[in-house]
Chains A and B, each alone.
Chain A
Amino acid sequence: MQNREPYMQKIIGNRYTKTKASFEKSLCLFLYQLGKKGKSLKTCLNISGLGMQFKGVKAVQNVSMNLEEGKLYALIGTNGAGKTTIINMISGVLKPTAGTICFQETDITGMRPDRIAKMGVTRTYQNLRLFKKMTVLDNVLMGAQMHSTCGAWESVFQTSRFRENEKSMREHARKMLDIMGIAAFEKEFAGSLPYGNQRKLEIARILASNPKLLLLDEPAAGMNPQESHELVDIIRGIQKEFGLTILLIEHDMKVVMNLCEYIYCMAAGEVIAEGGPEAIRNNPRVIEAYLGKRASHVTN
Chain B
Amino acid sequence: MKYRENAAVRFVCFVLLPLLILIYSAINRGHYYSDLICLFGIHLILATSLNLVNGFSGMFSMGHAAFMAVGAYTSALLTISETQKARISGLPEWFQKFTLPFPLALLCAGLVAALLALLIGFPVLRLKSHYLSVATLGLIVIVRAFLDNEDQFTNGARGITGLPSYSTIFSVFLTGLILLYIMYRLIRCSSYGRGLIAMRDDDVAAQTLGVRIVTKKISIFCLSAFAAGIGGALWGHLQTVISGQFFYFTDSFEIVEMSIIGGMYSLSGGIVGALVMTFLPEILAPLETGIMIGGFQLPELYGASNLIMAVFLILLIIFRRQGILGDSEIIVESIFSKSTYTGIFKAETYRKLVDITKAKLTGKKKEKTAK
Whether B192 pairs with A93 at a CB distance below 8 angstroms is no
A156 and B179 alpha carbons, distance in the complex (Å): 11
- Which of chain B's residues has its CB closest to A202's CB? B205
A123 and B207 alpha carbons, distance in the complex (Å): 11
Whether B204 pairs with A148 at a CB distance below 8 angstroms is no
The reply on A42 being an interface residue by CB < 8 A is no
Given A134-B194, A155-B190, A156-B186, verify A113-B207 contact (CB < 8 Å).
Answer: yes
Given A129-B202, A133-B327, A134-B198, verify A155-B191 contact (CB < 8 Å).
Answer: yes
The reply on B92 being an interface residue by CB < 8 A is no
Residues of B near A205 (CB, < 8 A) are 209
Whether A152 pairs with B190 at a CB distance below 8 angstroms is yes
The reply on A132 being an interface residue by CB < 8 A is yes
The reply on A150 being an interface residue by CB < 8 A is yes
B210 contact from A114, A125, A131, A162, Cβ within 8 A: A114
How many A residues, CB 8 Å from partner?
A: 36
Centre residue among B181, B197, B201 by max chain A CB count within 10 A: B201
- Which of chain A's residues has its CB closest to B200's CB? A133
Instruction: Mark out the residues of chain A between 75 and 129 whose CB falls within 8 Å of any chain B CB in the assembled complex.
Output: 91-93, 112-114, 116-118, 122-123, 125, 129
The reply on A206 being an interface residue by CB < 8 A is yes
The reply on A52 being an interface residue by CB < 8 A is no
Whether A138 pairs with B205 at a CB distance below 8 angstroms is no
Residues of B near A209 (CB, < 8 A) are 209-210
Residues of A near B211 (CB, < 8 A) are 114, 142
Given A93-B207, A113-B207, A118-B210, verify A150-B186 contact (CB < 8 Å).
Answer: no
The reply on B182 being an interface residue by CB < 8 A is yes
The reply on A51 being an interface residue by CB < 8 A is no
The reply on A247 being an interface residue by CB < 8 A is no
A154 and B193 alpha carbons, distance in the complex (Å): 13
- Which of chain B's residues has its CB closest to A112's CB? B212
The reply on B189 being an interface residue by CB < 8 A is yes
Please give the residue numbers on chain A whose beta carbons come within 8 Å of chain B beta carbons, in ascending order: 91-93, 112-114, 116-118, 122-123, 125, 129-134, 138, 141-143, 145-148, 150, 152, 154-156, 158, 162, 205-206, 209
Selected A-B contacts with CB under 8 Å, 26 pairs: A91-B208, A112-B207, A114-B207, A114-B213, A117-B207, A117-B208, A117-B210, A122-B209, A123-B208, A129-B202, A133-B197, A134-B194, A134-B198, A134-B201, A142-B194, A145-B191, A146-B210, A147-B210, A150-B191, A152-B186, A152-B191, A155-B189, A155-B190, A155-B191, A156-B186, A206-B209
Please give the residue numbers on chain B whose beta carbons come within 8 Å of chain A beta carbons, in ascending order: 181-182, 185-186, 189-195, 197-198, 201-202, 204-213, 327
Extra pairs beyond A114-B208, A114-B212, A155-B186 (8, CB < 8 Å): A93-B208, A114-B209, A117-B207, A131-B197, A147-B210, A154-B190, A155-B189, A155-B191
Which 6 A-B pairs have CB atoms at the shortest separation, nearest pair first? A155-B190, A129-B205, A152-B192, A146-B210, A131-B201, A113-B207
